[in-house]
Amino acid sequence: MSTQIYQLHDEGTQATIQVFGKLDVTTCAQLKAAIDDIVAQVPNRWHSIVVNLQGLDLIDSSGVAAIVGLYKRVRGNGGQALVTGVRGQPLQVFQILRMDKVFGLS
């Protein structure tokens, strides 16, 4: 039984994807399918994508790769990408990988 780990919010020229719970090697596949759909609509439908990780408790390197992949592909399509709400264990992982500076995390 799999739990839905994300919600996508269409906010006009911006979309926000909220990720919840655990983003690891066992749950990444769910997010990757959504990422493909999101990227395909940048920049024609959405100029910017916000990845909100406020509800994320646990991330591993596969989850980080998924977030980085989304970030790079959105920007590669000419859109803006923002990662917000990172806290707890995911924040520490991003800090160790020095991504906090790239993403502008506190």
Partner 1 sequence: MRAIMSGAVVIQLSLPGRLQFCDVARRVIMESCKLVGAVDDEELAGSSPSSLPSAGLSGGLSDRYEFEDRFTLEFISAFSEIYNNIALHAYDGMAHGTIDFKVHIGSDRLIVEMSDMGKTFDIDAVPVPDELPTGGMGIYIARTMLDELEYQPGPPNRWRLAKYMASAQTAEPARESAVHE
Pairing of strands 48-59, 14-23: parallel
45/102 with CB nearer partner 1: 102
Q: Rounded to an integer, what distance in angstroms lies between the CA atom of residue 58 and that of residue 86?
A: 11
Q: Rounded to an integer, what distance in angstroms lies between the CA atom of residue 100 and that of residue 35?
A: 21
88/104 with CB nearer partner 1: 88
Reduce the DSSP state of residue 63 to 3 states and report it. Answer: helix
Residues in touch with partner 1 (CB under 8 A): 3, 21-22, 24-26, 57-58, 60-62, 64-65, 68-69, 71-72, 88-89, 92-93, 95-99, 102
Q: How far is the CB of 3 from partner 1 (least distance, A)?
A: 7
